[in-house]
Amino acid sequence: MSGLSGPPARRGPFPLALLLLFLLGPRLVLAISFHLPINSRKCLREEIHKDLLVTGAYEISDQSGGAGGLRSHLKITDSAGHILYSKEDATKGKFAFTTEDYDMFEVCFESKGTGRIPDQLVILDMKHGVEAKNYEEHSVSEEKVWKDNTSSL
């Protein structure tokens, strides 16, 4: 007979919550958001390994109501200054590229306009490696379903 006796240990909600976090964690969307003042530039830098697929989605809210000729630009470059993605008058979109070397990449948003215009809200969601590949495959399958549905109309 073992020296351990008594009631079984009580298990609270913690193990269940931990299990759910583990199972759902990879599916959670982690995006960064920030405010971009008029006539300013904000850049984010990230080191990314060689031969990785990088995908991203962005949205820039225009809270000016079209006043002041507000324009936003997005440019993604590597450390040598090579342009990997560029979009003038960016509002919402997706991008993808594959890295050739281990490098530092820079994602820059720039706002240009005149007058008193509220800051723009920028939301950026980037994925790389396996996470990006799964996201890209999911997007392709959604696009195929959409095309199949519209062709039957």
* pLDDT at res. 44: 94
| Whether residue 43 has pLDDT greater than 60 | yes
12 located within any domain: no
- The domain that contains 38 carries what CATH number? 2.60.120.680
116 located within any domain: yes
25 located within any domain: no
| Whether residue 21 has pLDDT greater than 70 | no
Range of the domain at 130: 32-148
Distance of CA 102 to CAs 9, 48, 50, 143, Å? 49, 6, 4, 31
Do 49 and 102 form a contact (C-beta atoms < 8 A)?
A: yes
The model's confidence at residue 47, banded by pLDDT at 50, 70 and 90, is very high
Phi and psi at residue 105, to the nearest 5°? -110, 150
Structural domains counted in the chain: 1
5 located within any domain: no
pLDDT tens digits along 67-120:
567 889 999 999 999 999 999 999 999 999 988 889 999 999 999 988 788 889
23 located within any domain: no
